[in-house]
Every structure is written in C-alpha cells, then in structure tokens.
Amino acid sequence: MTAAPHRTGTPARRLAAELADAAAELLTDPRVRDVRECEGADCVLLFLPANPRRRWCVASACGNRARVARYYARHKP
C-alpha cells in the first residue's frame, strides 16, 4: 500500500497540483527519453514513438496531410 498526498485548497488548486506532479513524474522517468515533437505543419503535440522512424503524433491525420502536400508539390504543373 502506498501513501497518497492529501491536498487541501480549492478544487482548481488541487487539480493544478495533481497535474504538476504528473508532469514532473513523466519528465523525470528514465524510460521516457525519446519524447518527440510532431512534424505536422500546424501540430503542437508531443508523442512517444513506438517505432524509431515515427514522425507524426497521428499518422492518419498529421502524416496524411504531409503526404498529400508532398504529392501535390510533385504533381503540380
């Protein structure tokens, strides 16, 4: 059994503290070294790649947009 911290304050402050703890835990986890930025043009998301060649957070969205843009650039008169 582990002890959970008891937080006091408003619900907004408790939520902010929980989010800060979760972010600190994620960023200090030694298994999470390969966090990447999505290469999508307008995307601001970060992701953990399951494959070392992965470039987009969601291949069916950001990846598809990039592939379509490349296609149109190649076939544009």
pLDDT in tens, 53-74: 888 888 888 888 888 888 999 9
* Burial of residue 52 (number of CB atoms within 10 Å: 0-12, 13-18, 19+): exposed
- Bridge partner list, 46: 37
Whether pLDDT at 28 is above 80: yes
Domain ranges of the chain: 11-75
Angle at 45 (CA atoms; ends 40, 51), nearest 5 degrees: 75
